[in-house]
Structure 1
Amino acid sequence: MADEGDPSTSDDEQVVSNAAFALLGHQVRLDILRAFFDSYDPVDPDSRDDVRADRTRSYSELMASVGLRDSGKFNYHLEKLRGVYVEQVEDGYVPTASAVALYQAVVANRPTESVAVDVDIDTPCPACGADLTWGYEQEYLTIECESCEQFWGLTYRFPKNGLLTQDAEDVYEALYDRLMHHVGLARTGQCPACAGVVERTIPPSRLDGSATPTVELDCGTCSWHATVDIVSALQFEPRVMRALFELGIPLDSGTQATEEVLPTVTGREAEESTHATIEIATDEGTATVIVDETLGVERVEVDGETGSSAR
């Protein structure tokens, strides 16, 4: 994991990023990459030959797409891209994963476009029932309740393309699901943005037996970060998911269901090797979740109206 306090690590990452951007600093190279994606359909590199052929461009096809007649000049720019954004295969050339990621980022974020934002949130606040409000700034979408302090709200990066392709009334659910699934991956230690290592921390100040415990998720490589309540972070762990269902929280009706129990969630520092004991109380009973310092679930117990269970 990269250490932000290590100058050598920062310098190395800067050199890599500068070199990657510098390779794109010519119109011919951009035209070569665009030639792949004008009709690109991504497939598994190990797929059948006839399927893989659909994503392959021959040397002559690329040169014709770029519109160059000077083969020496074209070959110079193609070689600059090869191994980084373009890979040579038996029948021609294919884009690498880096090129695909670059293309997807441009399509998703539409950095040169101004997108009109008109979000209609018809979902009430899960805590007080008031109308939720929204804001969109620097491609981050914020959902909050101005009528109470119990609903945590959320702010997360939401690409412009999502606003263009989602119905306005569906944006809230899309944002929430996007964040929660990314958090679910980060809980396992993998960054959803760069596949780097995520550090998972439960602030000790939130384990006083009264405050709702939170989790801080930080990637030391790309600076991806999220702070969420601990139930949201753990909700996709199978034993926790089953416990929530036993407590009358049907997650299949939408991940926002976890917001309803936040005021009843408490935590305290656990003994021995464990890091924290989390209690989730509802009208149906109480679930106790014991986690270690990496958010690994060690034990789940449910004490409800129909009896007790442990797993």
Structure 2
Amino acid sequence: MAVWDHVRPMADDQGSAVAEDAFALLGHEIRLDILRALFDRYEPIDPTSGPELRDRRTLSYAELMDATGVQDSGKFNYHLEKLRGAYVEAVDGEYVPTAGAIALYEAMIANRPTESVPADVTVEATCPNCDADLHGEYEQEFLTVECPACDIFWGATYRFPKHGVAVREGVDVYEALYDRMMYHVGLARTGQCPSCAGITGVTLPWDRLDGESTPTVEMTCGTCSWLATVDVISALQFEPRVTSALVEIGVPREETSSLRATERVLPAVTGRVESREPFSATVTVPHEGAIAEISVGEGLEVRAVETTTD
């Protein structure tokens, strides 16, 4: 599989304003102390949780004020009100963090700056095309896996929390990266951004549908900065008809369930434009003398799948 994760500018001024407002709400020590007090007490619950668990995860106004050490109730209430709605909610007179606050807390834990992770990461895996040892590199909290010996292996670069690298070694790092990408690409294919739950769009760059190049797919969120460029097979193999076709032309079933395995067939995959209006393209996947042809629309919707075997 090939995934390149990018960070792109926000599409409009509204997105930038939202980000600025979110950071501004946290721009005071008392507000951070309020959140820290809630996180120290927080425990996830479900709708069937008993009242004793709910009591353990909430703080009253007085308890929250005492935990922050603020003596002036007017000052404390001012800062608490700034957080309400965005990061704090009142439930039956008690205070709990919102999902947004919890996501912020989890992101800080996952990428805490006190952890040191080496730039060179040993992945203990070999290239599926030339059997050379793969190389891992961790920079700016992006994990890259590539083959230093050949240009055939597509490799990947994707955001990966620092904690995930720190607690794993060798091939476990490599597998965790691909499992994470599989989950995110699959979610994006359903139209949901894996970062902000916004609506994702899928496009096929026409310049890669020249009958020679391996087609790629761009997945973009319409709300946040999430953007990934993915090889076409990695994006298509979530479709049942495509999975069946890969099996039919000889790609082992266990390989079609792992994005890494498509690297072996990826160099021979091509695409061509059949019609520009309405848009239609054919992706051709040859494997050991057999061929799968997948007809797709502009949003990568699968219209037809045909296989030819000896």
TM-score of the superposed pair, with normalisation by structure 1: 0.87
| 1:244-291 deviations in Å (ceiling 9; x for gaps) | 233323237632111111022111112464521111111273222111
User: Which of the residues 2, 21, 25 maps onto 2:27?
Assistant: 25
Q: 1:16 Cα deviation (Å)? A: 2.1
- Supply the distance in 1 between the matched residues of 2:33 and 2:251 (Cα, whole angstroms): 55
Task: Give the stretch that moved more between structures: 190-199 or 223-232.
Answer: 190-199
Contact 2:121/2:135 (8 A) holds in 1: no
Matches of residues 64-79 of structure 1 in structure 2 within 5 Å? 64-79=66-81
Q: Which residue of 1 aligns with 2:284?
A: 279
Q: Which residue of 2 aligns with 1:248?
A: 251
CA pair 56-128 structure 1, distance change in 2 beyond 3 A: same
Matches of residues 155-166 of structure 1 in structure 2 within 5 Å? 155-166=157-168
Matches of residues 32-43 of structure 1 in structure 2 within 5 Å? 32-43=34-45
- Supply the distance in 1 between the matched residues of 2:148 and 2:100 (Cα, whole angstroms): 42
CA pair 223-216 structure 1, distance change in 2 beyond 3 A: same
CA pair 235-39 structure 1, distance change in 2 beyond 3 A: farther
Task: Give the stretch that moved more between structures: 283-292 or 230-239.
Answer: 283-292
User: Which of the residues 90, 99, 103 maps onto 1:101?
Assistant: 103
Matches of residues 53-72 of structure 1 in structure 2 within 5 Å? 53-72=55-74
Higher RCO (C-alpha under 8 Å, 6+ residues apart): 2
Contact 1:158/1:175 (8 A) holds in 2: yes
Partner SS, residue 78 of structure 1: helix
Task: Give the stretch that moved more between structures: 164-173 or 129-138.
Answer: 164-173
Contact 2:204/2:216 (8 A) holds in 1: yes
- Supply the distance in 2 between the matched residues of 1:118 and 1:163 (Cα, whole angstroms): 11
- Supply the distance in 2 between the matched residues of 1:12 and 1:209 (Cα, whole angstroms): 40
Q: Which residue of 1 aligns with 2:273?
A: 269
- Supply the distance in 1 between the matched residues of 2:82 and 2:262 (Cα, whole angstroms): 50
Q: 1:113 Cα deviation (Å)? A: 4.1
Q: Which residue of 1 aligns with 2:5?
A: none
> Does 2:190 align with 1:185?
no
Mind listing any 5+ residue stretches in structure 2 that lack a counterpart? 1-7
Task: Give the stretch that moved more between structures: 135-144 or 63-72.
Answer: 63-72
- Supply the distance in 2 between the matched residues of 1:175 and 1:132 (Cα, whole angstroms): 14
Superposition RMSD in Å: 2.3
Matches of residues 136-151 of structure 1 in structure 2 within 5 Å? 136-151=138-153
CA pair 99-267 structure 1, distance change in 2 beyond 3 A: same
User: Which of the residues 265, 286, 294 maps onto 1:289?
Assistant: 294
Matched residue count: 299
Q: AA paired with 2:102?
A: V
Q: 1:126 Cα deviation (Å)? A: 0.8
> Does 2:305 align with 1:300?
yes
- Supply the distance in 2 between the matched residues of 1:245 and 1:104 (Cα, whole angstroms): 39
Q: Which residue of 2 aligns with 1:308?
A: none
Mind listing any 5+ residue stretches in structure 1 that lack a counterpart? 306-311
Contact 1:210/1:267 (8 A) holds in 2: yes
- Supply the distance in 2 between the matched residues of 1:23 and 1:97 (Cα, whole angstroms): 16
Q: AA paired with 2:188?
A: A
CA pair 13-203 structure 1, distance change in 2 beyond 3 A: closer
- Supply the distance in 1 between the matched residues of 2:144 and 2:44 (Cα, whole angstroms): 32
CA pair 5-253 structure 1, distance change in 2 beyond 3 A: closer
Q: Which residue of 2 aligns with 1:309?
A: none
CA pair 95-225 structure 1, distance change in 2 beyond 3 A: same
Q: 1:292 Cα deviation (Å)? A: 1.0
Q: 1:90 Cα deviation (Å)? A: 0.6
Q: 1:49 Cα deviation (Å)? A: 4.6
- Supply the distance in 1 between the matched residues of 2:56 and 2:259 (Cα, whole angstroms): 38
- Supply the distance in 2 between the matched residues of 1:77 and 1:152 (Cα, whole angstroms): 50
> Does 2:129 align with 1:127?
yes
| 1:87-128 deviations in Å (ceiling 9; x for gaps) | 111140111111011111101111454334562222110111
Q: 1:152 Cα deviation (Å)? A: 0.8
- Supply the distance in 1 between the matched residues of 2:99 and 2:196 (Cα, whole angstroms): 12
